[in-house]
Every structure is written in structure tokens, then in C-alpha cells.
Amino acid sequence: MWLFLGIVFSLGVLIPGKHSLKLQYDRDQVLHIVPETFQQVQHLQHLCSSLLLDLWKPLLPEDIWAGEDLHIRVPAPLVQEVKDSLDQHMISYKVLISDVQELVDQSMRRERTSHTQVLEGYVYTQYHPMEEIYQWMTQIQKSNSELVTQHYLGKTIENRTMYYLQISQPSDKTKKIIWMDCGIHAREWISPAFCQWFVKEILQNYKSDPKISRFLKNLDLYILPVLNIDGYIYSWEKDRLWRKNRSPHMNGTCYGTDLNRNFNSSWGSIGVSYNCSSEIFCGSGPESEPETRAMAQFIERKKSDILCYLTIHSYGQYILTPYGSTTKPPSNSEELMRVAKKASAALMGKYGTRYEVGSTSLILYSNSGSSRDWAHMIGIPFSYTFELRDKGSHGFVLPPDQIQPTCEETMLAVTTIIDYIDQKYFPGGAVMLTSGSLGLSLCLSVVLTWTVS
């Protein structure tokens, strides 16, 4: 009976919408549990697997550990039975979210932006559907044509166009690149909101902020506001908690690949599922998805110029370094950690928000096929995942009133990383020292010393 109910309710309740059926999460609850014993862990793993409960943290039942946080969404019809089962096994729990649908409604409560409004003033403190983000990209390029260009990246599985923005000050020298992508997971709406905020802040402040002004002389910024466009649209129109892209599998009986398990970095080896109905289905092979492939091929072509890869996610408040598939640290692990801690401190300085810093496999869970690991493996020296607010009070459904403080503090962290890279590779704001230029300067130094003496 429980298994049947789990299958029926784990995805939410379908109700007729204006244009189509829309999943509702009325009175679904998110529970916070910290199991204390191995027996409790076993019971929770069985409960989550048999009822197909929606794990928010961690993502797999086998990653449930004693002493570690567990966040699970429980469908309304199962709430009491699940709580009774926890009580029977002496497992303490706390209700993080008492009604998921209330939060969903809150995140979508907004005035629809007309084309005129986009031109007059974009509202960065609310979430925007993809149609408006497309309009915003077009407008931001038109309004800042001396600095911003919009470029084609590829097509999604549903044939939508992927664009990235390039922020570049005109220069006669070859510049290096900082890459940032948002929205690889559809339900993490705060992520695209940050990419948009980041672009706004750079464009508003590059003339007055000496740090931004300095790094733009040496670095171009490439921003992909939404990587998983089909999934993002689906999260607005059908299922707010959708995570994956929308590729069909098993003759259309299940949909979606987790794009952050689909990159060619130890693909399919750990922390994934081969079941296409799973939230962490890794696809049929590395880069099997057009979205992954488009981004990977582009970055591969540019990798010799890319100094830093940033990918923005939620939730949990982490700055994560490579790797997820192994606990063996990368060769520049010490520097990666030092810079991340510096960024975390800058972030905390704004509102006191604490971010944990470390490699994914050591402080979160093991996974393979992530974009962050892949970027570092192909030779991009600095590669980080940001997991933005919060710690679980709202989870994936962060209210709009959290957008501004989240983006303000994250901006400080990201610009700290970029500033460090700028100063490392362009000391004193000068042209980057190559091995050739360094050799020439040493020769001149020797000649001058000999002449003077």
C-alpha cells in the first residue's frame, strides 16, 4: 500500500491549469532529520526508497549518514504515516517547510513584465520566466553595446536557442576569460537570478569601482544566464521542483538527464543513477545531452584562455572545489582552498551568512560527471561551484525577498575570486608575463646590471 501511495504522490498532485496540468504541492512538508545510529540510517534509507520520497539533501538514499543532515519532501497524504514511522523508531525530526505549495506560490507571485517594462527598468528582485530573460539579454546588449555582446552557444533538446553574454572592454591585447554559468538545475531559481544580478552590477559599477575597472582591462566575462532552458521553462509552467533537462527516454516514459552528471569527468562512476526516472540520471553517455555538449565544446575551444570556471547552484551555502569523484585533491588544492576561504570571508562580511568551503567529496557527497570537475580536468586552474542560500529553511524555493541579500553577498565572493586571479596573472595591472616576456626582462636586467657596474 505504501509503495503504491509513494508512486502516486512523490511527484505531487496534478491539477488542471490555465493551459495544461500543473503539479501542486499543497501541504507537502519538508522534514529535517539527523540520524544518530546505523539502525536509524537503515530505516530512513528503506523509508525513502520504498515510498520514493523526494530527497533534497542528500540526493541518494545511500548517501544518508549518521550525524549528517537529511532533508526530505513528504507528500501530504504520507506526512502522518511517515511521522508515525519516525516516532516508532525513535528518530527525531523537525518540520523545515510546513506547506511547500505556499512557498511555491510566493516565489511566483509577481507582476508580469511587459516588453515596455523590460526597456524601462528590469526588476532584479523577483524571479523571471525564460521569455523575460531572453528579452533582458537582448536589451542589455542594446543598452551597453560598447561592452556587451550576445552570442549563440547551441540548441537545447527542445530546440531552444542558448545564448551567452560577453562583457569585454575594447582592447588591442588578447585577454583571458572568466566563465560563469547559472541554471544547470531547473528548480534552483536563485541561480539565474544571480547571473542577471552579476551582469547588472558589473555594468553599473565598472567605471566607479576600481576593482571591477581593473580586472575588466585584463579579463573578459562570459556569462550563461540559463544553461538548462527547457527544464527552467518546465519548472515555471508544469513542475516547480523539476531539476533535469527534458530529454525523453524509454520511448517517452520518463524524461530528463541531470546535466551536472553528464560531463566527461569520471562519468557514471559514482553518485549517479542509470535509472532515467532518477533526479541524478547521468544520461546515456558523457555529453549525451545537447546542452552539455554545446557548452563543453565551446569551453574546450577556449580553454587555453579561461582562467576560472564558476557554476552557480543552490542550496546549502557552500563554495565547492574539485573533485566530487575522488578524495584525492587537485594539484593546486591549497591555492583553490585559500581563495575560496577569502571569498567566503568577503561574503560573510555583508550579512553574516556562513559558507562552508571544501571539496565536494569531502564536505558534501560524492558525484561524477560534474561541470566543475570537468573544467578543472581539462586544465582550467580555478574551478568552483557555489551553492547559494539557504541551509534548508526554504531549500529550492527561496522567497523573492531573499534575492537581493543573496546576490549582494555572492557578488562580493565572486569579485574576490576574480580580483585574486587578475592580480595573480596580471600583477600591477600590467600585461601578463609570459615565459617569453619573462625571459626578455631577465636578459635586459642582466645587461643593465653589467652596464651599470
Q: What is the pLDDT of residues 166-222, one digit of tens each?
A: 999 998 888 999 999 999 999 999 999 999 999 999 999 999 999 999 999 999 999
**Contact predicate 317/388, CB 8 Å:** yes
Amino acid at 73: R
Contact 339, 382 (CB under 8 A): yes
Per-residue model confidence as pLDDT tens digits over 376-402: 999 999 999 999 999 999 999 999 999
- Residues marked active site are found at 387
Res 438 pLDDT > 60: no
Query: What is the pLDDT at residue 451?
Result: 37
The DSSP result for 384-450, as a single string, is EEEEES-SSSSTT---GGGHHHHHHHHHHHHHHHHHHHHHHHSGGGPPPPPHHHHHHHHHHHHHHHH
Residue type, 443: C
Q: Is the pLDDT of residue 85 over 70?
A: yes
Spatial contact of 15 and 58, defined as CB atoms under 8 Å apart? no
What is the maximal distance between C-alpha atoms in the chain? 93
Distance of CA 35 to the CA centre of its chain: 28
Confidence class for position 412, pLDDT limits 50, 70, 90: very high
- Which of 35-49, 72-86, 141-155, 435-449 comes out lowest in average pLDDT? 435-449
Q: Would the pTM of this model clear 0.85, i.e. be above it?
A: yes
Residue 18 scores a pLDDT above 70? no
C-alpha cell, 334: 591549497
Report which residue type is found at 145: S
Radius of gyration from C-alpha coordinates of the chain:
23
Amino acid found at 289: E
> How many CB atoms lie under 10 A from the CB of residue 404?
13
Stronger pLDDT, 400 or 17, i.e. the higher one: 400
At 240-285, the pLDDT tens digits run 999 999 999 999 999 999 999 999 999 999 999 999 999 999 999 9
